[in-house]
Amino acid sequence: MTRTELELSRANVRCEPVGTPGMFNQNPYPHQIVMKPGLFLHLSENNNNWRVVYTDGRAHKPKEELEPLFNGDQTARWEGDILVIDTSSLDERTMIQGNGWFHSDQVHVIERVRRRSKNYLEYQYTVEDPKVLTRPWTSAWKTFSLGNEPLIENFCTNNENA
């Protein structure tokens, strides 16, 4: 794949959601996280991406009810002060990273989110995909500075003439 083809295949250029784990690792825009008992809500200014993850202990949907989605089928649990988000059934149009890292229909992503302090949020993810990887791969921890700026509307335009 040429550099031009790679750039044109990115979700942000195609006006598609970046998906999971793209909400964190392919998004240069501000985030907003809202948490309440049983719920993690992740909003992004990037093309108004959002996801809702239940943290109330529910299981994944039964296999016969799953359909590939940009953010997949997500559940979450707490391990001490770390929120662990478990994702399966990801749409194959999403990339694991913005460098063209594709995945199969069997990908499984585990994200870890923790608030290190009042000013910092840390994020890490692990990818398991028996059709693409020989073993699970885990990213380094990424640190985000926390701010208070409001999200603004940011709509993607169709770049079909690019």
Q: Which helix (H) or strand (E) holds 8?
A: helix 3-9
Residue 94: closest CA among 113, 72, 127, 74:
72
In which band, very low, low, confident or very high, does the pLDDT at 47 lie, cut at 50, 70 and 90? confident
| pLDDT given at position 138 | 98
Residue 112: closest CA among 20, 16, 18, 47:
20
% pLDDT > 90, the chain: 58
Question: Mean pLDDT throughout 51-74?
Answer: 95
Pairwise CA distance, residues 153 & 138, whole Å: 32
Please enumerate in sequence order all residues whose Cβ is within 8 A of that of 79, keeping only pairs 6 or more positions apart, or say none. none
| pLDDT given at position 101 | 86
Which structure tokens are listed for 161? 């003439």
Residue 84: closest CA among 151, 146, 138, 31:
138
User: pLDDT at residue 43 above 70?
Assistant: yes
Three-state DSSP at 89 gives coil
| pLDDT given at position 108 | 97
Which structure tokens are listed for 115? 């608030």
